[in-house]
Each structure stands twice: as C-alpha cells, then as structure tokens.
Amino acid sequence: MMIQNAPPGEPRFISLMTEHNDLCGQFARAFGNDRFQRIEPYEEMLYVVSHHDRGWDERDANPILDPDAGVPFGIGGGPTLDGLATSRKSPDFNERRHAYAGLLSSMHSWGLYNARYGFSAFRTRKGGSTSIPIKPDFENETRAMLDHELARQQRLKAALAADPATSGWVDEKHLIQNYKQLQFFDTLALYFNLRHEDERGEEVYVHVPMTAETDATITLRPAGGGTYTLEPFPFAGDRVEVFNHGRYLKPFAKGEAPDDLGAALRALPPAMQVYTFVPASAA
C-alpha cells in the first residue's frame, strides 16, 4: 500500500499496490522513442512491470493501522515477516504467468534489499537508504528469503536459456537493461505515490537504459499545474498523461479507527491524480 504524505490536517492519498503497478504499466507502455529502446519482450515485460508487487494483495486487503499516523502502514512499515512474505509472493505470482516475469520480479525483490543492484539513487524518504534495511532481529529470515530468490533466479535463467525461443532474453546485458527499465518505472511511480505535490522537487534518475549498452541520467522537474519535465525525454511523442488511482483518507484520531480497516478503505470513493510529462524544451 502506498501512503502519500500530506500537509498536517489534510487527507492522505492512498493507493493499493495494484494501483501502483498500474501506474508503472502506464510508464512502460509510453516508454521508447528514437533514443530509448522500448521494453522487449513486450508482453512479458509489460506483464511483470504491471504486476511486480502482487505479493501485496493479501496485505492490502487486510491493512494494519499505524497508530502514530492514523493511516494504514505502507511500504517499509508494519510487521517485518509480512514484508518478507510479500517479497517472496510477488515472484511466485509472476512466475505462474511466465518464467521471465518470475525472473524479473525475483530480481526486483532481491534488489530492494541490495540497493537495486547499484542501478538507482532513488530514496523513498529524504536521507533514507537506497535499500530496505535488514533488521538485526530478522536477519536470518531476511537472508533466507534473499537466498531463496537467488536460487529461483538461477533456476529460471537455466530454463529460459534452454529454450531457443527465450534464450536471448537472458543475455546478461539485455536482462540488466530490462531490470533497469523496471526500476525506472517503479521509482518514477514512487515519486508520485509517496510525495504530496508540495513535496515534489527535482529528482535525478540514473542508469535509465537507452539500449543494452548505453544508459542515460534523466532529470525530472516540476513545471507547475501537474506538469513535469523529463530531460532527456524517454517517452514516445512529446506529451504523456498518466493517471494515479487511489482514495483520500483523513487520518483517524487515536481510538477512532474502525474494526475492519480494509472494509473502511474499500468504502471510500475512488479518486485520481493526473500527471503530465513533457520534454524540458517544451515547458
């Protein structure tokens, strides 16, 4: 669950992980032009980008209240073992669709605890880490989950390499290109999922792949009125509009939270935030 921050006293915009994944999928569909290669294999990549966090389904249906904030725990909060379970269940979900989707989802889960393989400078919170910190009390459980994902990756790579139709997909440079694409879509979505408009400043995205051989550093800047510039511009055309779905929740006062928090969230009216992207030269 994504909990957007907000000025004191204002409602918080909350998105389920399926809605976060949908935003990532919109970026994936728009990505690619004469400088940036589009996602390939297209269908398998679009699927994993649009479903990479589906291990959160059960947790999002049964959220836990953060008593200090008065809203549900989002990413990085709540019981540690629940968080570890989502990191395993997401690749499970994707692998059921296709081995390649399972492989990229597993790399995503492992990368969250390992600075996204060193290919991202994005931090969900100012001054925070590029990795999910491993809590000392749960180090054994976390290491076991990460080792399980490394073993999954080796198994799936071997299966894909053995099939002539998919062997090229696991070429190391191409695989890393696709992983970097997934991380760009994910962290670009997180910028909006987690930050109120007043909190959105310049953000620099490193290692955004143009090809399997060449990366770009993309700078995002707010231009006002829900418009943001990207330089260089990685999307098709000269203007892209995306939709971030969710709902607004006013934080509960202490002692006033409902017994069934999930039902209360599902009863809220749907809402949407719209963001427009243009090249810096068009702003």
Q: What is the DSSP string of 174-187?
A: HHHHHHHHHHHHHH
State residue 128's pLDDT score. Answer: 86
pLDDT digits (tens, 9 = 90+) for 156-181: 999 999 999 999 999 999 999 999 99
- Calculate the CA dihedral of residues 191, 187, 25, 81 and round it to 10 degrees: -100
Helix-helix angle 42-51:80-97, to 10 degrees: 160
Across the chain, mean pLDDT equals 96
Q: Residues 15, 244: contact at Cβ < 8 Å?
A: yes
State residue 216's pLDDT score. Answer: 98
Partnered with residue 90 across adjacent β-strands are none
Q: Is the pLDDT of residue 94 over 90?
A: yes
What is the spatial distance between Cα 62 and Cα 65, in angstroms, rounded to a whole number? 10
Q: Is the pLDDT of residue 211 over 90?
A: yes
State residue 56's pLDDT score. Answer: 95
pLDDT digits (tens, 9 = 90+) for 131-164: 999 999 999 999 999 999 999 999 999 999 999 9
CB atoms under 10 Å from CB of 56, counted, come to 24
125: pLDDT confidence band, cut at 50, 70 and 90? confident
258: pLDDT confidence band, cut at 50, 70 and 90? very high
User: Could you give the C-alpha distances from 220 to 28, 43, 64, 191, 202, in angstroms and in order?
Assistant: 17, 27, 33, 10, 6
Mean local confidence (pLDDT), 38-54: 98
State residue 76's pLDDT score. Answer: 83
User: Residue 239 has which token pair?
Assistant: 């203007």
Query: Could you tell me the pTM of the whole model?
Result: 0.97
What is the spatial distance between Cα 251 and Cα 256, in angstroms, rounded to a whole number? 10
